[in-house]
A and B are shown apart, each in its own frame.
Chain A
């Protein structure tokens, strides 16, 4: 239902002048992610119905009469794309935050927008990489190894674009940017181990070990959760009309960054040494890395305390936020913080591509122009109303 809503809204209810290639990258990524959700979630529903009938009514879909591996197929047919349902919006947040704090337009906007869509399309044809060790025929494994490795291309485009955006720019290292940069750096680890796992021989070697767990967590926690934090800090002033406490934000970032790496990095060497996943105890020779991971886990737990405190206190009594505290170029920064009901007092006209403004001065001038335009329209209209 949410997917239906998002897709309809994005396709039909854009502001006048907001062509598809003027949309913020974040919206592109949400669109791509929701299309995936719309198409693939139902296959899981179908599989779940069949599984339910097997378990409670005694049907024969996935038992020895039927085909247990078919369930794995139906499950991963959805569950691989769903990884991108989480990851794409995270990439979208990076693509909003990094240009804003580099005071640079996003490098290669069009490529990044299309890469989001490309990831969505490609991710529909890779699910069998979760079944390399399930007796899948050789030709199929080769095919899906190839398609899996192809995903590295659009994601590579994105990482390249983020790097090029930061390149030779004047960096402003406020909390959202720290989280975005930290997230991208750790995404490199998650992504590269993904490429390694996509290769059939390597996957068979580390199958069912902590290496896979490490890869997963580098993406889901160290990339996606970092992006969520980046997004929360970035849009906090817009949502609440108040600034968060910068110092506490930075403390939160460093604790999280440290904790995340301490917790999840040990999983790579452990996996390579052969420690299997989903076990309650491990052989003594694995103890060293495991102790580090446990300590990291506690640190990660502690790291959320300054975050929660910061959010609550700042929301209640933070200093007032200006309309555009980050000198960002998105439309949302042209309206007041927090925005009025229905976001804009007058539907804005969009006449420039996003993030195309070279310098801070331009950005500010541009925003001022829009704001005064909106005010003019508003007073016009008010006069018209009262005259009428």
Chain B
């Protein structure tokens, strides 16, 4: 309550001032909310993965006859890029914990570039496939799973861009307050983990 002038008490009733003060008092639980959100999100993927596994086990020949083999080299490289981008991004959070805003910007920018390469690689893979969305059950699953994941990578990229834009205001992120950094990083890790599972299910199994 220090630092507020008596004038303010005359414009606001004491209750309002107290209420406002109280509102500030509680701790920041936004990260908990982000975790809950990601749990919910993971259930969308879970539903699709389960559907995929069921198809796999029910259909007599899997992938259905006549499905061209998937190339493993490009998606393999893509996987390595995406997984390592998670570590790169984590350096960004370490930087902001030391109040190093330029470090945060550099590491996040590198992450964004790696994410963009991943997306570009995916699109390139799509364009070189000998099957389409509607060819058969496997190809449908392939496109919807990878596409839905790609959508999440895009959202992750947007989050990183927002952090980069906001970090231009001096003092927006500091070692005390870096919710945006933390949340976007957790989201990115989540997208990463989903990809690893997806890669194992669709490409390797």
Question: Which chain A residues have a beta carbon within 8 Å of chain B's beta carbons?
Answer: 1, 3-5, 7-8, 11-13, 38-43, 45-47, 49-50, 53, 57-61, 65-67, 70, 74, 77, 340-342, 345-347, 381-382, 385, 388
Q: Is the CB of B18 within 8 A of A46?
A: no
Q: Is the CB of A42 within 8 A of B40?
A: yes
Q: Is the CB of B47 within 8 A of A61?
A: no
Q: Which of B33, B40, B47, B140 contacts A8 (CB 8 A)?
A: B33
| Closest chain B residue to A57, Cβ basis | B133
Give the residues in chain B near A13, CB-CB below 8 Å.
26, 29
Q: Which of A5, A39, A47, A74 contacts B39 (CB 8 A)?
A: A39
Q: A66-B55, A388-B1 are in contact. Are A8 and B36 (CB under 8 A)?
A: yes
Q: Which of A12, A42, A66 contacts B44 (CB 8 A)?
A: A42
Q: List 21 A-B contacts (CB under 8 A).
A: A1-B37, A8-B29, A12-B27, A38-B36, A38-B39, A43-B44, A43-B47, A46-B44, A49-B48, A49-B144, A50-B144, A53-B133, A58-B134, A59-B133, A59-B134, A60-B134, A67-B55, A67-B58, A382-B14, A385-B1, A388-B2
The answer for the CA separation of A267 and B148 in the assembled complex, in Å, is 44
Q: A43-B47, A341-B19 are in contact. Are A5 and B33 (CB under 8 A)?
A: yes
CB distance from B62 to the nearest CB of A (A): 12
* Residue B136, interface by CB 8 Å: yes
The answer for the CA separation of A340 and B39 in the assembled complex, in Å, is 36
Q: Is the CB of A40 within 8 A of B134?
A: no
Q: Is the CB of A65 within 8 A of B137?
A: yes
Give the residues in chain B near A5, CB-CB below 8 Å.
33
Give the residues in chain A near B27, CB-CB below 8 Å.
12
CB distance from B153 to the nearest CB of A (A): 16
Give the residues in chain A near B48, CB-CB below 8 Å.
46, 49-50
Give the residues in chain B near A45, CB-CB below 8 Å.
44, 47
Pick the most buried of A41, A58, A59, A74: most chain B CB atoms within 10 A of its CB. A59
Chain B interface main SS type: helix
The answer for the CA separation of A345 and B134 in the assembled complex, in Å, is 62
* Residue B51, interface by CB 8 Å: yes
Give the residues in chain A near B143, CB-CB below 8 Å.
59
Q: Is the CB of B40 within 8 A of A340?
A: no
Q: Is the CB of B136 within 8 A of A60?
A: yes
CB distance from A348 to the nearest CB of B (A): 12
Give the residues in chain A near B43, CB-CB below 8 Å.
39-40, 42-43, 46
* Residue B15, interface by CB 8 Å: yes
* Residue B69, interface by CB 8 Å: no
| Closest chain B residue to A40, Cβ basis | B43
CB distance from A141 to the nearest CB of B (A): 18
| Closest chain B residue to A347, Cβ basis | B22
Q: Which of A38, A58, A347 contacts B40 (CB 8 A)?
A: A38
Give the residues in chain B near A388, CB-CB below 8 Å.
1-2
Give the residues in chain A near B144, CB-CB below 8 Å.
49-50, 53, 59, 61
* Residue B165, interface by CB 8 Å: no
Q: Is the CB of B18 within 8 A of A61?
A: no
Q: Is the CB of B140 within 8 A of A60?
A: yes
CB distance from A54 to the nearest CB of B (A): 8
Closest 8 CB pairs of A and B: A46-B47, A59-B140, A42-B43, A342-B19, A43-B47, A58-B134, A42-B44, A46-B44
The answer for the CA separation of A385 and B26 in the assembled complex, in Å, is 20
Q: Is the CB of A7 within 8 A of B36?
A: yes
Q: Which of B15, B32, B47, B140 contacts A345 (CB 8 A)?
A: B15
| Closest chain A residue to B31, Cβ basis | A8
Give the residues in chain B near A65, CB-CB below 8 Å.
64, 136-137
